[in-house]
Amino acid sequence: MNAPARSRRLVVVLVAMALGASAGAAVPDPADQSIRQFLAQDGTQPPYRAVRRLEAWNGSRSAWMEAVTAYSQSAGFRYEITAEGGSDSIRNRVLRAMLDGEREIIAVGESARSALARENYTFQPKGIGADGLANIQLTPRRKERVLVSGTMLLRPRGGDLVRLEGRLAKSPSFWVKNVDIVRIYERINGVVVPVRLESQAQVRFLGEATLRMTYRYSEVAGRAVKLR
């Protein structure tokens, strides 16, 4: 093959490679696309009213609590315990401490620092799992009690948050440390809100504790929630 022919052949190969690369780049990565859609959503905390049931176990001891909780931008987070039972130490050091901690975080304006946003996290798409959800690795930018090091699972279409799991970047209190969480979300009244939290943690002087919290919403975003 003479020099001009070899040159033409090389040009053809390079053009083919370039076209192939362009075609591949044009196909969107579903996981990457889902995180872009998620970050484009309005992450503002909507006003709500919900009954929460909190349950915790530590060895042979257990406790439970039911509380009416409410949030609005003007009034912040409020709760009223309507019923409780079981171990006094677990109720006070775990269950009540969780509600108090949430109220404090919101009162001092720390909730913005917990948002799933680029200011607080780096996001790394890890593909689509067997369950059809996009896996996104979460890496906190700071070591704070309101941030989670772990993974969130999104719907590839729309970017709705379905599940978040990992460990709190910092212990939330003197009494509770090494907190591993799983939080489940649903879309209610057009807004994605948490509906279930499961957690395991080490409680000082008490050992490992397991926590479950469920939400039963009556109002979200200023509208009544239809019973299901």
Question: Over the stretch 78-113, which tens digit does the pLDDT of each residue have?
Answer: 999 999 999 998 899 889 988 998 898 888 877 777
pLDDT, average across residues 200-214: 86
Task: Supply the pLDDT for residue 113.
Answer: 78
Say if 125 falls within a structural domain. yes
Number of domains in the chain: 1
Does 15 reside within a domain? no
Helix or strand or coil: residue 96? Answer: helix
Upper half-sphere CA count for residue 99 (Cβ side, 13 Å): 21
Query: Among 5-14, 50-59, 62-71, 117-126, which is the least confidently predicted range?
Result: 5-14
Asked whether residue 90 is assigned to any structural domain, the reply reads yes
State the pLDDT at residue 12: 41
Q: Distance of CA 202 to CAs 26, 97, 213, Å?
A: 48, 14, 17
Residue at 130: amino acid letter: A
Residue 6: pLDDT band (50, 70, 90) is: very low
Of the listed ranges 63-67, 161-165, 175-179, 198-202, the one predicted with least confidence: 175-179
Measure the CA–CA gap between 130 and 54, rounded to whole angstroms.
Answer: 31
**Is 20 within a domain?**
no
Using CA atoms, how far residue 208 sits from 164, 176, 203, in Å, is: 21, 10, 6
Taking CA atoms, 75 is separated from 70, 151, 159, in Å, by 9, 32, 30
The count of other CB atoms within 10 Å of the CB of residue 145 is 17
CA 182 and chain centroid, separation: 8
Domain encompassing residue 51: 30-222
pLDDT of residue 164: 95
CATH number at residue 67: 2.50.20
Q: Is residue 163 part of a domain?
A: yes
The model's pLDDT over 133-163, given as tens digits with 9 standing for 90+, comes to 999 999 999 988 788 999 999 999 889 999 9
126 contacts 137 by C-beta, under 8 angstroms = yes
DSSP single-letter state for residue 203? E
Q: Please check whether residue 9 lies inside any domain of the structure.
A: no
